[in-house]
Amino acid sequence: MNRASFFSPQAGRLIEAPRKARARFAIGDIVRHRHHDFRGVVFDIDPVFANSEEWYEAIPADIRPRREQPFYHLLAESEDTSYVAYVSQQNLLDDAEGGPVDHPSIAQIFEDYTGGHYRMRRGMTH
Protein backbone atom coordinates (compact mmCIF):
# COMPACT_ATOMS: atom_id res chain seq x y z
CA MET A 1 0.00 0.00 0.00
CA ASN A 2 1.28 3.47 -0.86
CA ARG A 3 1.98 5.35 2.41
CA ALA A 4 2.89 8.88 3.47
CA SER A 5 3.88 10.53 6.75
CA PHE A 6 2.55 13.58 8.57
CA PHE A 7 3.56 15.22 11.85
CA SER A 8 1.02 14.98 14.67
CA PRO A 9 1.39 17.62 17.42
CA GLN A 10 -0.81 15.49 19.73
CA ALA A 11 1.43 12.43 19.30
CA GLY A 12 4.62 14.50 19.06
CA ARG A 13 5.92 12.39 16.17
CA LEU A 14 5.55 11.47 12.50
CA ILE A 15 2.58 9.23 11.75
CA GLU A 16 2.51 6.78 8.82
CA ALA A 17 -0.80 6.72 6.94
CA PRO A 18 -2.13 5.42 3.64
CA ARG A 19 -2.00 8.02 0.86
CA LYS A 20 -5.70 7.47 0.25
CA ALA A 21 -7.97 7.21 3.28
CA ARG A 22 -11.75 6.93 3.02
CA ALA A 23 -13.24 9.41 5.45
CA ARG A 24 -17.01 8.99 5.83
CA PHE A 25 -17.44 12.57 7.09
CA ALA A 26 -16.06 15.91 5.88
CA ILE A 27 -14.96 19.10 7.60
CA GLY A 28 -18.09 21.02 8.54
CA ASP A 29 -20.27 17.92 8.92
CA ILE A 30 -22.29 17.48 12.11
CA VAL A 31 -21.92 14.10 13.76
CA ARG A 32 -23.13 12.28 16.86
CA HIS A 33 -21.19 9.76 18.95
CA ARG A 34 -22.55 6.24 18.56
CA HIS A 35 -22.31 5.36 22.30
CA HIS A 36 -21.94 8.59 24.27
CA ASP A 37 -24.41 11.45 24.48
CA PHE A 38 -22.61 14.19 22.54
CA ARG A 39 -22.50 15.66 19.07
CA GLY A 40 -20.15 18.01 17.26
CA VAL A 41 -18.90 19.56 14.05
CA VAL A 42 -15.82 18.12 12.30
CA PHE A 43 -12.97 20.64 12.07
CA ASP A 44 -10.06 18.33 11.18
CA ILE A 45 -9.51 14.73 10.10
CA ASP A 46 -6.56 12.41 10.66
CA PRO A 47 -6.38 9.53 8.14
CA VAL A 48 -5.35 7.18 11.00
CA PHE A 49 -4.98 7.47 14.78
CA ALA A 50 -2.59 10.37 15.48
CA ASN A 51 -2.96 11.18 19.18
CA SER A 52 -0.73 10.24 22.13
CA GLU A 53 -0.19 6.67 23.26
CA GLU A 54 -1.41 7.70 26.74
CA TRP A 55 -4.71 8.84 25.22
CA TYR A 56 -5.08 5.56 23.30
CA GLU A 57 -4.15 3.33 26.26
CA ALA A 58 -6.66 5.17 28.49
CA ILE A 59 -9.51 3.69 26.43
CA PRO A 60 -10.61 0.35 27.90
CA ALA A 61 -9.20 -2.47 25.73
CA ASP A 62 -12.60 -4.03 25.07
CA ILE A 63 -13.88 -0.84 23.38
CA ARG A 64 -10.60 0.58 22.03
CA PRO A 65 -11.02 1.49 18.33
CA ARG A 66 -8.70 0.28 15.57
CA ARG A 67 -5.88 2.71 14.76
CA GLU A 68 -6.13 2.20 10.98
CA GLN A 69 -9.26 4.29 10.35
CA PRO A 70 -9.95 8.02 10.15
CA PHE A 71 -10.12 9.94 13.44
CA TYR A 72 -12.06 13.20 13.67
CA HIS A 73 -11.41 16.38 15.65
CA LEU A 74 -14.76 17.78 16.77
CA LEU A 75 -16.03 20.97 18.35
CA ALA A 76 -18.33 18.99 20.61
CA GLU A 77 -21.29 19.72 22.84
CA SER A 78 -23.12 17.69 25.43
CA GLU A 79 -26.11 18.69 27.51
CA ASP A 80 -24.03 20.78 29.96
CA THR A 81 -20.69 21.63 28.33
CA SER A 82 -18.68 22.17 25.16
CA TYR A 83 -15.20 20.81 24.45
CA VAL A 84 -12.91 19.41 21.75
CA ALA A 85 -13.26 15.66 21.10
CA TYR A 86 -11.16 13.15 19.14
CA VAL A 87 -13.28 10.26 17.86
CA SER A 88 -12.76 7.25 15.59
CA GLN A 89 -14.87 6.92 12.47
CA GLN A 90 -16.49 3.69 13.75
CA ASN A 91 -17.97 5.63 16.68
CA LEU A 92 -19.63 8.43 14.69
CA LEU A 93 -23.05 8.77 13.07
CA ASP A 94 -24.42 11.52 10.83
CA ASP A 95 -26.43 14.15 12.75
CA ALA A 96 -27.23 16.75 10.07
CA GLU A 97 -30.87 16.81 11.19
CA GLY A 98 -29.96 17.85 14.74
CA GLY A 99 -29.45 21.54 13.89
CA PRO A 100 -26.40 23.74 14.56
CA VAL A 101 -23.82 22.92 17.24
CA ASP A 102 -23.50 25.26 20.23
CA HIS A 103 -19.74 25.66 20.76
CA PRO A 104 -17.89 28.92 21.55
CA SER A 105 -15.18 28.26 18.89
CA ILE A 106 -17.54 27.74 15.93
CA ALA A 107 -17.30 31.37 14.73
CA GLN A 108 -13.47 31.23 14.75
CA ILE A 109 -13.38 28.30 12.30
CA PHE A 110 -16.65 28.33 10.36
CA GLU A 111 -18.59 31.01 8.47
CA ASP A 112 -22.15 29.82 8.40
CA TYR A 113 -24.47 26.88 8.95
CA THR A 114 -26.59 25.84 5.97
CA GLY A 115 -28.38 22.64 5.17
CA GLY A 116 -26.96 20.68 8.09
CA HIS A 117 -23.35 21.65 7.32
CA TYR A 118 -20.87 24.37 8.32
CA ARG A 119 -18.66 26.11 5.76
CA MET A 120 -15.06 26.69 6.82
CA ARG A 121 -13.80 30.29 6.92
CA ARG A 122 -11.54 31.38 4.09
CA GLY A 123 -7.94 31.22 5.15
CA MET A 124 -8.61 28.27 7.49
CA THR A 125 -8.30 25.67 4.72
CA HIS A 126 -5.01 24.27 3.50
Any domain includes 2: no
Q: Is residue 5 part of a domain?
A: no
Distance CA 89, CA 49 (A): 10
Give the predicted TM-score (pTM) of the model. 0.85
Would you say residue 107 has pLDDT above 90?
yes
Domain CATH for 40: 2.30.30.390
Q: Does residue 109 belong to any structural domain of this protein?
A: yes
pLDDT tens, 7-20? 777 767 677 766 66
Could you read off the pLDDT of 25-77 as tens digits, one per residue? 999 999 999 999 999 999 999 999 999 999 999 999 999 999 999 999 999 99
Q: With respect to residue 10, please indicate whether it lies within any of the assigned structural domains.
A: no
Domain total for the chain?
1
Residue 80 has a pLDDT of 92
Distance of CA 122 to the CA centre of its chain: 20
Of 52, 59, 113, the C-alpha closest to 90 is 59
Cα distances (Å, whole numbers) of residue 105 to 21, 43, 109: 27, 10, 7
The answer to whether position 12 is within a domain reads no
- Please compute Rg for the chain using Cα positions: 15
Host domain of residue 40: 21-120
Give the pLDDT score at 33: 96
117: nearest Cα among 101, 96, 87, 102: 96
Q: Answer yes or no: is 62 within a domain.
A: yes
Does residue 103 have a pLDDT over 70?
yes
- Tell me, what's the pLDDT at 10? 74
